[in-house]
Structure 1
C-alpha cells in the first residue's frame, strides 16, 4: 500500500489540508471597502511563496470586494502586495494578519 493511501482518500487528504490552511487564518476579517465582518475566508496554498506563512481571501457579500488576510515576512508581504497591484490594479488592498515573523 502506498503512503498516500495510508493517509486516507484524496478527498480526506484535501479536506485535511484545507482545514490546516484555514486554521492559520483569523476567524474573520473586516471588509476593506464597506467594513462588513467577513467570516468565509478561503485559504490559498502559499508553499511556493518564500516567506509567506498563510494567505486567504474573503469576498464581501455586500459589496463584492476582495479582502486579503496574509501572514509572512515583511519582504514576502511587500511582494504579495506588488503582485495584487499588478494583477488587480489600485483596487487591491491587502489586510488582515500581517505580523512580524516569529
Structure 2
C-alpha cells in the first residue's frame, strides 16, 4: 500500500492541507499602502507551489490596495512575490508578520 493511501482518501488529504494552511493565517496584516489593519485574509490556493506553506491575500477597503501574507522557504516566497508583482504590473512591498500577531 502506498504512503498516500495511508494518509487517507484524496478528499481527506486535501482537507488536511487546507486546515494546515488555515492554522498559519495571521490575525491581521497591515496594508502595505496605508497601514490599516486588515483582518479579512483570504487563503490563496498553494497546491503545486513547492516551498510555500501558506499564502493569504487581503484587500484594503480604505485605499483599495491588496496586501499578501506568504509563509515558506525564502527562495519560494521571493519567487511568489515576483509572480504577484508581474501579475499586478507594479512593484510591491514585502513585510514581516510579528510573532505576536500569529495565532
Question: Which TM-score applies when normalising by structure 2?
Answer: 0.70
Following the alignment from structure 2 to structure 1, what is the Cα–Cα distance between the partners of residues 89 and 82? 10
Gaps of 5+ in 1: 8-12, 98-102
Q: CA deviation at 1:85?
A: 1.5
Q: CA deviation at 1:92?
A: 3.0
Q: CA deviation at 1:17?
A: 6.7
Paired position in structure 2 for 1:69: 69
Alignment of 1:82-97 (within 5 A): 82-97=82-97
Aligned length: 89
SS at match of 1:55: strand
Structure number with greater CO (CA < 8 Å, separation at least 6) is 2
What whole-Å deviation, never above 9, does each CA across 1:34-60 have from its counterpart, x for those lacking one?
Answer: 010000000112121000000000001
Following the alignment from structure 2 to structure 1, what is the Cα–Cα distance between the partners of residues 64 and 81? 19
1:38 equivalent to 2:38? Answer yes
Paired position in structure 2 for 1:57: 57
Gaps of 5+ in 2: 1-8, 98-103
